[in-house]
Structure 1
């Protein structure tokens, strides 16, 4: 669905004739559990003649992070509805924790579905610290209101359209720095929403050629250079991993390369982004259990994130050269599918003994990573829904992170900044030893089919396709890329868009 329009306002929120006003509410740690309106709500609290807090408390408000309480204003202020969103205890500094603010803005905007215009009167400092607060608030609001268009033949009963227009109250609406943050938030949110749309699309409507075509069209429109390799070109080019995985499907695989070159920059840093694009994963011959297999439509979340990131980069125009590589295939069982026991020659010449066709992600990624290194890059960031081991070890919010020290440090810091945490994991020598093959250069999984350190096996395997001297990171998003529970904060059910904001922050930091 269309993203809400954004604007900045500095007029009195209490006098804004809009559908709803959102304010922040702090819980206080004192014994009587009193509440405190957050910065930005001063004029609204004054309009209620000292009764706002007691009224919200009667409605059950506690100020807990993300809690939403609605109040009919009955003419007390110009807007008919007031929404108080919990921001936790009052911060020591000028603004709440950014992730708390991001989630609160998302929850409030989602709760106001059906409204046309909403003003966010949330805390924004009047100093140099305003930029991250603006960014967090705007991104949270835009993403919390996301809804996948879907395929219902009739509108669901009671379903209301998302908010159409968002206005953020700031100290000075003419401030150029604030306007820059507004523009950036819109670009970033569109990238995340596009990723969510691709991930949420059913697999029969987004087979390899479909995804490649859609990405190519959007990237071309954005001004990126686009290269698409089809099945015959992949075979001729020696992309053995992508060919092996894709040959079992009647929908042949693709490799898409997107390129952004900064203008006016001499010898820019080179960044390669690589994404796994398995549009549906049955497991192939090593077929998965039927329960929950439908979620494997999200196995292309890494490629979707990389494509959307490149499209955003084209609009943000950072001073670094960025290329994206999308390894796209459908992993199906058939008479032409690759088998356990096969030996596959990869793009960089390494030969891989296959033990499990359901470990297909590392096969397509190995080719794409080797191609990225062959093209030349200083940094390589790869992201994929690679292993169930990531979910077991780190859960549904924290990505697994492996690679060189500098690259993983960049991802870890960026993830902390944007609210997409990642946890660094080791690449032990004994895991690599367990992947020795008697007949090839490396086994695709542990030679004894031992799943111990399963997430680490994936990282160890991918390391084989990174050229020496390239700073690299593997970001395993098997859990964080797809949210199966009810909407909370700025996450809605389905695709989350992780790690688009992390990748864009990394590029910002390198620039």
Structure 2
């Protein structure tokens, strides 16, 4: 991952490939943001005018490159847009800093070192810039020729437009000896590394990432970071009566797994359970997806990836809270052994479910994992899943929906997501939609009314939560996989959606600020 340092050196004397400065959108044109004073002075105070001449406006994500002023050891100045300038005496918000740093890091692919002279009002700002830069520098090229030709052994260009990710970031204005600054940057580095782990998992092809290999990766990470990892294979799942997970995985040659990752802290008084949907490939099963809907279905395990990354991050940060992650892993394929529409599954909770559509499989694996999590009576359960296309229709491709059995808990998660820069929206669980899942054959069907399908899925999951446990469901179907162009610190492909929200929930719980 990109190296990160704090620096108090003078901008002109730093050896680097580029110096990154911020520019905001002012009422009368671009405005140079704090942090770039020395650079502006070297342009005789005319940096904003020069940028305006080059067409820069300060709009969010806008990147403008220009030759560095005389006397600077870095040859290039990179001006990145921060969006609208804040009101007088106000600072730039953390998300603007994250996005600007991410845009700059992406634009500097191929550079060995860049100095970031963005606004740093306090340690939190340093953390935001560090996080944005590290996330923006991400690339997934494990399956490309990254340096050697297999036939000749000679060097070959990296497939990312011939450029490797930015190798090193120095935060100018940071305070290397200040404990708060150091802690903020260390947190950003650990969080970014784990979020990028989730991105890697989502981007992996399904012929390499199946339930067994995913479980193996979790075991490896557990050993490295002191987590207790328990893996239930198909035999253990059968013995335990996990009919939902087994039913979804019945059609695949790659059998399902249920992975439990446990992080415990000796001083913890609260226990959170995170549950992730981990469909390593979703063909729809017998209810096969139509052409054009299969190509990105390797991302249907993004919820499990987020949970995995969040638990490891909690361990790395040493949070004073117990966190258990449940990864419900299966591959949904059609075959002679696959679950059919009309079949009835005997779930781990004891309930029976009539399967009306095998492409509504995520709720089935989650149901078993949610009940297993409930048996431990945690203080709260949060599940994360790329669950419904209906949520994408409702909220678009960048916002996840939040449903819960407790309004205050739902609000707390929404606020936590907003704090870390993840777009979310509270959604209801209308009681009248529950009747649509009544089954003449089983306790409940896995489908209900078509309209409000995302809410119906939430109501189904609620049936498998233990009594008295606060629960929330995050439907990340939209933001989990970015099919459009990269923006800010968000790459094309796997995004790591919900990782930061889960980690923030764990931090708030550890601090006693979440109920």
Runs of 4+ off more than 6 Å? none
Unpaired runs of 5+ residues, structure 2, are 146-155, 511-515
Query: Helix, strand or coil for the counterpart of 2:295?
Result: helix
C-alpha displacement of 1:158? 4.2
Residue 409 of structure 1: aligned partner: 411
Residue 323 of structure 1: aligned partner: 324
Map residues 42-441 of structure 1 onto 2, 5 A cutoff: 42-73=37-68, 75-92=70-87, 93-125=89-121, 130-153=122-145, 155-156=158-159, 158-170=161-173, 172-265=175-268, 268-403=269-404, 404-441=406-443
Query: Helix, strand or coil for the counterpart of 1:203?
Result: coil
1: distance between equivalents of 2:81 and 2:216?
43
Are the equivalent residues in 2 in contact too, given 1:66–1:100 (CA < 8 A)? no
C-alpha displacement of 1:46? 0.5
C-alpha displacement of 1:171? 5.3
Query: Helix, strand or coil for the counterpart of 1:273?
Result: strand
Q: Number of aligned pairs? A: 497
TM-score w.r.t. length of structure 1: 0.95
2: distance between equivalents of 1:157 and 1:234?
42
> RMSD between aligned alpha carbons?
1.3
Provide, for residues 196-226 of structure 1, a one-character-per-residue CA deviation record: whole Å limited to 9, x for no partner: 0000001111111111111111122111000
C-alpha displacement of 1:74? 5.5
1: distance between equivalents of 2:125 and 2:345?
50
C-alpha displacement of 1:365? 0.1
Unpaired runs of 5+ residues, structure 1, are none
Question: After the TM superposition, which of the residue ranges 65-74 and 454-463 deviates more from structure 2?
Answer: 65-74
1:96–1:457 CA distance, 2 compared to 1 (3 A): same
2: distance between equivalents of 1:120 and 1:489?
15
C-alpha displacement of 1:67? 0.4
Are the equivalent residues in 2 in contact too, given 1:401–1:422 (CA < 8 A)? yes
Provide, for residues 287-333 of structure 1, a one-character-per-residue CA deviation record: whole Å limited to 9, x for no partner: 00121312000000000111111111111111111000000000000
TM-score w.r.t. length of structure 2: 0.94
Are the equivalent residues in 1 in contact too, given 2:259–2:328 (CA < 8 A)? yes
Provide, for residues 401-453 of structure 1, a one-character-per-residue CA deviation record: whole Å limited to 9, x for no partner: 1012233122101110011121111111111011111121111111xxx4111
C-alpha displacement of 1:133? 1.6
Are the equivalent residues in 1 in contact too, given 2:6–2:174 (CA < 8 A)? no
1: distance between equivalents of 2:470 and 2:289?
34
1: distance between equivalents of 2:390 and 2:228?
36
1:353–1:292 CA distance, 2 compared to 1 (3 A): closer
Query: Helix, strand or coil for the counterpart of 1:479?
Result: coil
Provide, for residues 13-64 of structure 1, a one-character-per-residue CA deviation record: whole Å limited to 9, x for no partner: 232121111000112113xx3x221000001111112332222222211111
1:103–1:41 CA distance, 2 compared to 1 (3 A): same
1:172–1:156 CA distance, 2 compared to 1 (3 A): closer
Provide, for residues 129-178 of structure 1, a one-character-per-residue CA deviation record: whole Å limited to 9, x for no partner: x2332222111111111000231245438421111111111253311100
1:105–1:351 CA distance, 2 compared to 1 (3 A): same
Query: Helix, strand or coil for the counterpart of 2:290?
Result: coil
